[in-house]
Amino acid sequence: MSASSIDLAVIPGDGIGPEVIAEAVKVLEKAVAAEGVELKQTHYKLGAEHWLETGETLPDEVLADLRTRDAILFGAVGAAPGDTRIPSGIIEREMLLKLRFSLDHYVNLRPSRLYGTVGSPLANPGTIDFIVVREGTEGPYVGNGGSLRAGTPHEVATEVSLNTAHGVERVVRDAFRRASARERKHVTLVHKHNVLVYAGHLWKRTVEAVAAEFPEVTHDYLHVDAATIFMVTDPSRFDVIVTDNLFGDILTDLAAAITGGIGLAASGNINMDRTAPSMFEPVHGSAPDIAGQGKADPTAAILSAALLLDHLGFTAASRRIEAAVVADVEKRDGGARSTSAIGDAIAAGL
């Protein structure tokens, strides 16, 4: 990467992925052009459709090629539910999770913010402005399971959650760093250490140890079940949540729901050591039911592009996208606009 160009990998994916990514690229191009930065794009055909055509999920050469880029903008992948031609989970694991794991995206960053007038399902949402720092490279997501006597009455199926001091410490430290730069400077660890004792205690001990390096940051702990209660009764209490891969998956969908839906929820899969490109994607899926109809909200993809710019150091351009999104979102009255109309409006607002 040079300051005057960005070498971007684009993976539009399936369903509404290509539609929302087209708008994100539109906004991204305009935002960086204003700073004299060229956006060099390489598009990759990957996902369920591509698998149906070729049987490929993520070939090694493609992964190697992706490694040479500055960052990845990702749409969404996944076949229609009930499409029995695709073994369930194969695209998720052999493509999306393979990217996150291979490129060591250990910080899965998911900000949650309620914008003025956007509809929260909560009667009294209050001010919602927190980030979830979800671990992205271990935990129950490692694919370490198996089944014995599958399909018989004696079947035993296991799933192993793997947690390492290395993996937990780096993401916990990232959460404290981010908290330290925020106004409220508060970290909440979410786990279930009264049941998942070994993993839970590794997380707790690590938080205690890292907290000592950040005397300006306060911290507390919530069991994951209690955290979901506060998410709907008192979401204002959260500033920075740090949690494992699975709890983070669950909490961030709930967080998206209370802040107006996954049409707005952005995420970054970040390699903070920059040993490989980071990947930015909307939290939503491929929504095959509305694909190709111009009905998808590209806002989450556009906000993901803003996170991408921020990660690459184009802070001002990132802020301008965010501001344009906020301005657009605050004007929304529930009326339907097409995917490209929303993209155009946000681009115009830059």
Rule CB under 8 A: choose which of 67, 177, 205, 237 binds its own copies: 205
Say how far apart CA 297 and CA 301 lie, in whole Å: 8
Residues 129-148 as x/- pattern, contact with its own copies by CB under 8 A:
-----------xx-x-xxx-
3-state secondary structure of 269: strand
Rule CB under 6 A: choose which of 64, 195, 197, 229 binds ligand IPM: 195
DSSP 65-82: HHHTSSEEEEEE--PPTT
Q: Does 185 bind its own copies (CB under 8 A)?
A: no
The pair phi, psi for residue 213, each rounded to 5°, is -80, -15
Nearer to its own copies among residue 26 and residue 50 (C-beta): 50
In this structure, are residues 259 and 224 in contact, taking their beta carbons and an 8 Å threshold?
Answer: no
Q: Which residues are catalytic?
A: 141, 192, 225, 249, 253
Nearer to ligand IPM among residue 2 and residue 194 (C-beta): 194
Which residues within the stretch 211-230 sit at the binding site for ligand IPM (CB under 6 A)? 225
The interface partner of residue 205, options being its own copies, ligand IPM, none and the CB cut-off 5 to 8 Å by kind, is its own copies
Say how far apart CA 330 and CA 300 lie, in whole Å: 15
Close Cβ partners of 306 (under 8 Å, ≥ 6 residues apart) = 266, 318, 319, 321, 322, 325
Give CA torsion, residues 30, 257, 229, 193, to 10 deg.
-60
Distances (CA, A) of 27 to 22, 37, 67, 306: 9, 13, 24, 9
For residue 259, the minimal CB distance to its own copies (Å) is 11
In this structure, are residues 349 and 328 in contact, taking their beta carbons and an 8 Å threshold?
Answer: yes
Q: Does 120 bind its own copies (CB under 8 A)?
A: yes
Q: Sort strands 38-43 and 186-191 into parallel, antiparallel or unpaired.
A: unpaired
Q: Does 33 bind ligand IPM (CB under 6 A)?
A: no
Which residues within the stretch 222-281 sit at the binding site for its own copies (CB under 8 A)? 224-226, 228-229, 231-233, 246, 249-250, 252-254, 256-258, 261-262
CA within 13 Å, CB half, 230: 18
Say how far apart CA 110 and CA 134 lie, in whole Å: 8
CA within 13 Å, CB half, 258: 27
Residues 61-100 as x/- pattern, contact with ligand IPM by CB under 6 A:
-------------------------------x---xx---
For residue 203, the minimal CB distance to its own copies (Å) is 9
The interface partner of residue 233, options being ligand IPM, its own copies, none and the CB cut-off 5 to 8 Å by kind, is its own copies
Rule CB under 6 A: choose which of 61, 194, 333, 335 binds ligand IPM: 194
Nearer to ligand IPM among residue 6 and residue 96 (C-beta): 96
Nearer to its own copies among residue 114 and residue 347 (C-beta): 114
> Whose CA is closest to 339, among 21, 4, 71, 43?
21
Nearer to ligand IPM among residue 283 and residue 324 (C-beta): 283
For residue 57, the minimal CB distance to ligand IPM (Å) is 13
The two three-digit tokens of residue 321, written as one number: 């996208």
Angle at 134 between CA 270 and CA 82, to 5 degrees: 95
- H or E segment at 139? strand 139-148
Where on the chain is the footprint of its own copies (CB under 8 A)? 81, 88-89, 92-93, 97, 120-124, 140-141, 143, 145-147, 149-166, 169, 192-202, 204-205, 221, 224-226, 228-229, 231-233, 246, 249-250, 252-254, 256-258, 261-262
The contact set with ligand IPM (CB under 6 A) reads 92, 96-97, 194-195, 225, 249, 283
